Chain A
C-alpha cells in the first residue's frame, strides 16, 4: 500500500475530548459522514466548521474520543475533511473505530505537546513521521501493533473481514462445476 502523506494546518484541543462533543447524540439518528460533519465539534468549538479546511489535522491531548462508543464520531471527523488526528493518547473504542473505518490516527505525546493551533503539519502515515513545517521539529508516532497493521493493510475492517471470509477469492473450478450441475 502506498504510504499517504498529508499536509495541513493544525486545529488543537486539550485532554479528554469526548465523543458527545465530537458529535452529540441528538444528531446520531444519522450515520452518514457528510450529515454528521455539519455538527462536528459544535458543543465544544462552534468555530470548528468555519476554520477547518479539507486536509487539516486535529491535534489533541490525552484520551481523545473518550465516552460513548458511537462510530459517528470518527465518521463526523472524516466527513469534515480532517486528514488525520494526532493525540497524546486515544480512548480505546475511538481508536478501534478509527482503524476500522480508515480514519488516519497517530499517537505521539511529543508531537501533540509541541504543535500549536495553525501550525503547518506534514504527516507520513506509513512511516509514522510527523513534521511541524512551521517550527521545523520532527516526531515519530508510536508504532501500531502487528495485528492492527493487518487491519490497516486491508484498508480497514471491511476489507479485513472480506479477506477472512474469502468473499473476494476467485471462484474455485470445483465449485463452479457444482453450481452449474445444481
Chain B
C-alpha cells in the first residue's frame, strides 16, 4: 500500500521506510518558525529546559509581525525579548521591521521552505507552507522551545483527505473561494487532525499566490496541514529564493485516503464566510447588499502582490465608498515595495485606502483597524470568531480580494462580477 505526500514526508524525516496513520514519531525538522507574539514565552521555557544552544541557528526563523510596529509597551517588550534571543543564539533568519512581514507571506518568499520539508511554526497558519509541497504545521510556544532544543518534534501520522478541484475558475473567483467552500463543507472540525491534499487541474493551473491561500486555511477545518504537490510552478517560484533543492513528492497511486471530496469549480460563485465562524460559508448571492463599515485587505491569507493587483483593478477609477473605511496591509516589506513599483499603492491611496505597514494587526484585533461595538467588517483574513477582530458585538465577513475591493467601492457586500460586468 502506498503513501500520501504527508506520509512520505513524515517517513523521510522519521527515518523509516513507511509510516501509517495513527503512529507516533519523533521526526527531524527543517525549519522552526516563531513570531513576536509566541517567541517570548518560548525563550523563557527554553531557559527552563536548561538548553544551551538551539539545534541549528540556520533552521530557526523569528519574525516580527503580529503586534508590529509595537502597538504598546507590552508588545514592544515581547519584540525586545525575541530580538535579544535572536542575538544571543545567533539566529540566522531574524526579521526586523524594514525587512520583515507577515510570517507566512515572508518565510516562503525568503526561500526558507523547500518541497519535502518538515516545518513547525508557533502560529496556527504555518500550514500555509504546504503550498510549496512541504509538511508544515502549527505548534505552541513550549513545543517550539522543545523543537529549538532537540531539532525534532513528535508527530502523530494523520490520515489524509484528498480534495479534488476540476475545471476552470470563473473570472473574479480564486483560491480564497476554493478553500472557503471546502471549510464550509467540512465544518470547523471536519478535518481535525487530518492532512488535506489538494489536487486536480484547477490546482495545477492555480498560481502560487492562490495555492498559499488554499493551504493557509486548512487549519480552519481543523486540519494539521494542507499540501499541494510541488511542480514546475513551485520550481519557478523558488528559483532565486530557496538555497536547497528539496524533494518533489507525489502521492503513490495506491495511497490510501480517509475521504475524497470532489468539486467542479467552473460554476463556483465567490464565497463569503459569515459571523462567527470561517466555516459559516455562503455563496455571495445570499449575503449581497449587506452594509459594511470597514474592509481590510491583507493578512497571511491574502496579502500578496497578486491580491492587491486584483483589488487595484477593481478600485481604479472607482474610489472607496465615503461611508466605508478601507485598510490595505501589504503582507511584507517586499510586497509593499513591489506594490510601489507597480503603482498599486498610488491607485489604492487615490481611491481612498489607508495603507498600513505590514502586520497581522486587525486580523487578530491587535491594532491598525480594530472594530468598535456593533461594527461590521469584511476582511480578506482567515478567522471571524466572536471578538477576534475587535469588540465582541462586532461582526466580520471573510472573502477574497475581489469581493473585498468591490465591497469597498459600494459600501455593501458586492459581487465583483456584477460591478465589473
B69 in the interface (beta carbon within 8 A): no
How far is B224's CA from A44's CA once the two chains are assembled, in angstroms? 25
A119 in the interface (beta carbon within 8 A): no
Q: Note all chain B residues with C-beta closer than 8 A to A164.
A: 149-150
Picked from A44, A70, A145, A151, the residue with its CB within 8 Å of the CB of B38 is A70
A167 in the interface (beta carbon within 8 A): yes
Most buried by A among B37, B189, B192: B189
Task: Assess whether B124 is in contact with A158, with CB atoms less than 8 Å apart.
Answer: no
B364 in the interface (beta carbon within 8 A): yes
Nearest chain A residue, comparing its CB with the CB of B154: A147
How far is B124's CA from A24's CA once the two chains are assembled, in angstroms? 15
Picked from B123, B142, B150, B156, the residue with its CB within 8 Å of the CB of A100 is B142
B98 → chain A closest CB, angstroms = 22
How far is B193's CA from A63's CA once the two chains are assembled, in angstroms? 10
Q: Note all chain B residues with C-beta closer than 8 A to A93.
A: 124, 138-140
How far is B370's CA from A24's CA once the two chains are assembled, in angstroms? 13
Q: Note all chain A residues with C-beta closer than 8 A to B383.
A: 18, 20, 67-68
B-contact 0/1 string along A47-79, CB 8 Å cutoff: 000000000000000110011111110000000
Picked from A20, A147, A162, the residue with its CB within 8 Å of the CB of B50 is A162
Task: Assess whether A145 is in contact with B24, with CB atoms less than 8 Å apart.
Answer: yes
How far is B387's CA from A68's CA once the two chains are assembled, in angstroms? 13
B-contact 0/1 string along A154-167, CB 8 Å cutoff: 00111011101101
Task: Assess whether A161 is in contact with B49, with CB atoms less than 8 Å apart.
Answer: yes
Task: Assess whether B24 is in contact with A92, with CB atoms less than 8 Å apart.
Answer: no
How far is B145's CA from A96's CA once the two chains are assembled, in angstroms? 13
A132 in the interface (beta carbon within 8 A): no
How far is B127's CA from A69's CA once the two chains are assembled, in angstroms? 12
A30 in the interface (beta carbon within 8 A): yes
Q: Note all chain A residues with C-beta closer than 8 A to B26.
A: 147
Number of chain B residues close to chain A: CB under 8 A? 52
How far is B364's CA from A72's CA once the two chains are assembled, in angstroms? 14
A82 → chain B closest CB, angstroms = 18
Interface residues of A in 136-182 (CB under 8 A from B): 145-148, 151, 156-158, 160-162, 164-165, 167-168
Task: Assess whether B387 is in contact with A91, with CB atoms less than 8 Å apart.
Answer: no
Nearest chain B residue, comparing its CB with the CB of A167: B50
Picked from B38, B277, B370, the residue with its CB within 8 Å of the CB of A71 is B38
Nearest chain B residue, comparing its CB with the CB of A28: B37
Task: Assess whether B388 is in contact with A24, with CB atoms less than 8 Å apart.
Answer: yes
Task: Assess whether B188 is in contact with A63, with CB atoms less than 8 Å apart.
Answer: yes
How far is B123's CA from A62's CA once the two chains are assembled, in angstroms? 22
Task: Assess whether A20 is in contact with B388, with CB atoms less than 8 Å apart.
Answer: yes
Binds A, one of B40-48, B294-302, B316-324: B40-48
B105 in the interface (beta carbon within 8 A): no
Task: Assess whether B192 is in contact with A89, with CB atoms less than 8 Å apart.
Answer: yes
Task: Assess whether A25 is in contact with B366, with CB atoms less than 8 Å apart.
Answer: yes
Task: Assess whether A89 is in contact with B142, with CB atoms less than 8 Å apart.
Answer: no
B346 in the interface (beta carbon within 8 A): no
Q: Note all chain A residues with C-beta closer than 8 A to B85.
A: none
Task: Assess whether A29 is in contact with B72, with CB atoms less than 8 Å apart.
Answer: yes
Task: Assess whether A71 is in contact with B192, with CB atoms less than 8 Å apart.
Answer: no
A-contact 0/1 string along B57-88, CB 8 Å cutoff: 00000000011000010110110000000000
Task: Assess whether A21 is in contact with B385, with CB atoms less than 8 Å apart.
Answer: yes
A103 → chain B closest CB, angstroms = 11
A108 in the interface (beta carbon within 8 A): no
How far is B45's CA from A99's CA once the two chains are assembled, in angstroms? 14
28 A-B residue pairings within 8 Å (CB atoms): A20-B383, A20-B386, A20-B388, A21-B386, A24-B365, A26-B370, A29-B67, A29-B72, A29-B77, A43-B386, A43-B392, A44-B386, A68-B383, A70-B38, A71-B140, A92-B192, A92-B224, A93-B139, A96-B143, A97-B142, A97-B143, A147-B26, A151-B154, A161-B51, A161-B145, A162-B49, A164-B149, A167-B51
Given contacts A91-B189, A100-B142, contact A69 B38 (CB under 8 A): yes
B122 in the interface (beta carbon within 8 A): yes
A-contact 0/1 string along B357-371, CB 8 Å cutoff: 000000011100010
How far is B139's CA from A161's CA once the two chains are assembled, in angstroms? 16
- Beyond the given pairs A24-B387, A101-B142, 15 more chain A to chain B contacts, judged by CB atoms under 8 angstroms and listed by A's residue number, are A16-B277, A18-B383, A20-B385, A20-B386, A26-B365, A70-B140, A71-B141, A71-B142, A89-B189, A89-B192, A96-B143, A100-B146, A161-B149, A164-B149, A165-B49
Q: Note all chain A residues with C-beta closer than 8 A to B48.
A: 158
Nearest chain B residue, comparing its CB with the CB of A25: B364
B111 in the interface (beta carbon within 8 A): no
Task: Assess whether A69 is in contact with B51, with CB atoms less than 8 Å apart.
Answer: no
B-contact 0/1 string along A30-50, CB 8 Å cutoff: 110000000000111000000
B222 in the interface (beta carbon within 8 A): yes
A45 → chain B closest CB, angstroms = 11
Q: Note all chain A residues with C-beta closer than 8 A to B142.
A: 71, 97, 100-101, 156-158
Nearest chain A residue, comparing its CB with the CB of B40: A31
Q: Note all chain B residues with C-beta closer than 8 A to A101.
A: 142
